[in-house]
């Protein structure tokens, strides 16, 4: 009986985690370059049920089958499928088609600088001519932070990432890719960081100037998942309530 309570509780916990992920996906449905998150669910390992000190058998402990203690979150994952392109016509907007990430020189609140990565190509130029993110972090090229002449009349960025201001070569966007994206984690602010074990490879992505990549979130699918989660959560609640009522009746009978 108590095992049933624990099993239902584990189900509630899993549905709460699923709801957190779906809610976050929906909240970022309009975030440029955002990649969908997901969770897998798995059961706990089976354990043996044991009959203890039963005098009807010739030995003390006897296996009577297996028990399962409910469900748990298996692992989280991220879908790196490409989002649709939105034509903005903005000189400093870039979308990547194919596999790859922009490199960003990120400075945290403690003043520490590190290289992070993003698919969000909504950039701008600051007063010094540096190409920066909307938060002011430097966009990296092959020669470091990309600095443009402040008086240019035309800016062209080739599919390869080469940047030309008024026909003069400036730099090339530092696009990177990774052999295994399991070693790339979300950092926050639509940025990603490489963790221990990450291996960089040459990016095959092509740069599209004047476009932005939308998130790869399908709002309808996420809403359907949310409805499914609500129903599963309610089912586990009903199980817990039913077991609670049965335990209450057993206690009442024993007191008579």
pLDDT by residue (tens digit) across 19-51? 999 999 999 999 999 999 998 887 766 655 555
Residue 227 pLDDT greater than 60, yes or no: yes
Structure tokens at 43: 């059961």
Tokens 């809610």 label which residue?
Answer: 23
Report pLDDT for 240. 85
- Say how far apart CA 230 and CA 187 lie, in whole Å: 29
Residue 64, domain member (yes or no):
no
Residue 234 lies in a domain: yes
Average pLDDT over residues 62-81: 76
Note whether 159 and 239 are same-domain residues.
no
Compute, in degrees rounded to 10, the torsion defined by CA atoms 66, 72, 77, 81: 80
C-alpha span between 238 and 226 (Å, rounded): 18
Q: Give every CB contact of residue 25 below 8 A, 6+ residues apart in sequence.
A: 36, 37, 217, 222
- The Cα–Cα gap between 65 and 163 comes to 68
**Lookup: tokens for 164:** 């030309």
22 in the same domain as 102: no
Confidence of residue 53 (pLDDT cuts 50, 70, 90): low
Query: How distant, in Å, are the alpha carbons of 83, 115, 119 from that of 212?
Result: 9, 22, 9
Per-state percent for the chain, helix, strand, coil, to nearest 5? 25, 40, 35
Instruction: Give 73: exposed, middle or buried? Use CB within 10 Å, 0-12, 13-18, 19+.
Output: middle
According to the model, what pLDDT value does residue 220 have?
96
Asked whether residue 65 is domain-assigned, the answer is no
Kindly indicate the confidence band of residue 10, based on its pLDDT and cuts at 50, 70 and 90.
confident
Q: Do 197 and 138 fall into the same domain?
A: yes
User: Could you tell me the residue range of the domain that residue 234 belongs to?
Assistant: 1-47+73-80+218-255
Query: Is 239 within the bounds of a domain?
Result: yes
- Structurally, the chain folds into a number of domains equal to 2
Asked whether residue 185 falls in the same domain as residue 240, the answer is: no
105 shares a domain with 130 = yes
Separation between Cα atoms, residue 197 and residue 180, nearest integer Å = 9
| Higher-confidence position of 53 and 230 | 230
Residue 144 within a domain: yes
* 164 inside domain: yes
Same domain, 137 and 224: no
> Do 41 and 153 belong to one domain?
no
Domain check: are 204 and 165 in the same one? yes
Task: State whether residue 37 is helix, strand or coil.
Answer: strand
Domain membership of residue 67 (yes or no) is no
Place of tokens 């909504």: 122
Of 194, 213, 232, the last residue of a domain is 213
In 3-state terms, what secondary structure has residue 127?
coil
Of 239, 254, 127, 122, nearest in space to 190 by CA: 122
Q: pTM here?
A: 0.81
Residue with tokens 């490879």: 201
Task: Verify that 22 and 90 share a domain, yes or no.
Answer: no
Beta carbons within 10 angstroms of residue 28's beta carbon: 17
Q: Are residues 192 and 93 in the same domain?
A: yes
Q: Which residues pair with 76 in a beta bridge?
A: 39
180-196 per-position pLDDT tens digit: 999 999 998 899 999 99
Q: Judge if 225 and 110 occupy the same domain.
A: no
pLDDT at 73: 79
Q: How far apart are CA 195 and CA 181, in angstroms?
A: 10
Nearest residue to 14 (alpha-carbon basis) of 40, 35, 32, 48: 40
51 forms beta bridges with 62
- Give the confidence band of 7 by pLDDT, cuts at 50, 70, 90: confident
Are residues 232 and 116 both part of a single domain?
no
Q: Determine, yes or no, domain membership for 223.
A: yes
């Amino acid at each position: 009986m108590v095992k049933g309570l624990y099993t239902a509780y584990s189900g509630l916990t899993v549905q709460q985690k699923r709801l957190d992920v779906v809610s976050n996906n929906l909240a970022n449905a309009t975030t440029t370059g955002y990649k969908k998150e997901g969770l897998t669910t798995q059961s706990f390992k089976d354990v043996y049920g044991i009959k203890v000190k039963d005098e009807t058998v010739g030995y003390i402990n006897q296996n009577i089958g297996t028990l399962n203690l409910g469900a748990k979150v298996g692992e989280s994952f991220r879908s790196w499928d490409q989002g649709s392109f939105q034509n903005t016509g903005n000189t400093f907007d870039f979308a990547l088609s194919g596999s790859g990430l922009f490199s960003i020189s990120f400075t945290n609140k403690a003043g520490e600088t590190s290289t992070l990565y993003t698919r969000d190509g909504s950039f701008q130029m600051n007063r010094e001519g540096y190409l920066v993110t909307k938060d002011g972090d430097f966009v990296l090229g092959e020669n470091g932070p990309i600095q443009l002449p402040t008086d240019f009349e035309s800016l062209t960025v080739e599919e390869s990432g080469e940047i030309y201001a008024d026909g003069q070569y400036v730099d090339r966007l530092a696009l990177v890719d990774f052999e295994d994206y399991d070693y790339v984690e979300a950092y926050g602010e639509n940025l990603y960081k490489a963790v221990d074990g990450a291996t960089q490879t040459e990016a095959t992505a092509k740069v599209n100037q004047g476009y932005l990549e939308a998130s790869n979130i399908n709002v309808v699918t996420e809403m359907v998942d949310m409805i499914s989660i609500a129903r599963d959560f309610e089912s586990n609640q009903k199980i817990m309530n039913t077991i609670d009522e049965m335990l209450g009746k057993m206690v009442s009978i024993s007191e008579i």
